[in-house]
Chains A and B, each alone.
Chain A
Amino acid sequence: MTDNSSTEEMIRLLREISGKLDRILIQGSADKESDDGILDVLDVMTLLTLPDHLRTTATALFELGSATADELAEKTNKERAVESNYLNQLVRMGHVAKNRNGRKVYFSIGEGLGK
């Protein structure tokens, strides 16, 4: 190997490393976004990834806008306790917001925590 070709080889390797570092940096910033809670937004693509029972509940909530567990159970034809359980799961996942108004608890699709 001549001097010239080994220099070229080194430059090629450095470029490759530089490219890998770039990708790691890009990856890192994506992870950070999810820490900020942007992934909690319930959009229709996320809706598609939910298990069937939660998707039914979330879709009904999209239609109703804001609803109590009773109102939602009426719409989905399920037991109130069951629906309440699903709603609280969605709250824990960050997809649904829970607000108390007097003695009633209202659920609505969350706004997400990110930007």
Chain B
Amino acid sequence: MALTIAIHSYKGGSGKTSFAINLASAYASVGKSVCLLDVDLKAPSSFNYLLPESKHWVNDIFEGRYGVMDVVKDVSKEMGTKGAFYIGYSNPDILAVREVSSKDRKWQSKALKLLMAAKKDLSNAGIDVVILDTGAGVDFTSVNAIAVADHVISVGRPGVSRQRLMEQIIGGVYMPLDKDCYIIENMCHSDNPTDLSGKKFDLPVLASIPCMCDVAVRGDNEVLVLTEPYHIFSKKIYDIMESLDKITS
């Protein structure tokens, strides 16, 4: 089975998408066959329009219109990665976003089944790593993806208030769904040393990534892991990949 990782956070803007793009690129750059899916149907990121366009949408998977392999597109040539690099986008058209936001529970239940099936299809197609970039907070689009994943990486900004929220989501969502979870502290600052691991659960913190203008400014136009592998940010991502390899092997 493909290693499936959901990238999640309780609050928005913690750096999930930046992290997801770079982690997926890191895996592809070392020759792993990767699939990166934007499952944030309510606020599609289109991966900042950084990566090449594709014909179909991740929405089509949830609707049962297309299989996952018809939706994803291999961008390894454009990105210059050694391994295959499949990408699937959520439809950013406002009509599609509005439609998703009004789906009922029955649709969401079917969506979960279809996403489970998609994971199987990706494994059968020889994908090694599936990365699901989820929306923030607790709603169907994020929790369905968490339910499908083997591992959850929760990306959060450090701070006392966020620590309590982190404990809530670990105890109320990740643990009941029986997931292996890890924490990435992002946008860390020396003024704010409170870590996120949560005394109650004591989850492994895979990395603390400093707050860096480069990530914010250059992140819109390049994938740092690929364009500057020796950047502090890129090195952190490669370290995380190695830690994950150790944990999962």
Contact residues of B between 164 and 206, Cβ < 8 Å to A = 172-173, 176-178
**Cβ 8 A contact of B178, one of A45, A59, A65:** A59
Assembled-state Cα–Cα distance A41/B147 (Å): 16
Q: Would you give the 0/1 interface string for B138-170, flagging 1 where the beta carbon is closer than 8 Å to chain A? A: 001001100100000000000000000000000
**Residue in B108, B116, B140, B143 whose CB lies within 8 Å of A62:** B116
CB contacts under 8 Å to B, within A57-78, are 59, 62-63, 65
Within 8 A of A (CB), among B71-122: 104-106, 108-110, 112-113, 116-117
Chain B residues near A44 (CB-CB < 8 A):
108-109, 112, 140, 143-144, 147
* Set B105, B109, B117: member contacting A109, Cβ < 8 A: B109
Contacts of A90 in B (CB 8 A): none
- Chain A residues near B110 (CB-CB < 8 A): 111
Mostly helix, strand, loop or mixed at chain B's interface?
helix
Size class of A's contact patch? 20 to 34
Contact with B along A2-39 (1 / 0, CB 8 A): 00000000000000000000000000000000000010
Structural contact, B113 and A65, CB atoms closer than 8 A: yes
Chain B hits for A56, CB < 8 A: 178
A44 to B134, CA, bound (A): 15
A62 and B177 contact, CB distance less than 8 A:
no
Chain B positions near chain A (C-beta within 8 angstroms) = 104-106, 108-110, 112-113, 116-117, 140, 143-144, 147, 172-173, 176-178
Question: Residues of A with Cβ closer than 8 Å to B?
Answer: 38, 41-48, 52, 55-56, 59, 62-63, 65, 109, 111-112, 114-115
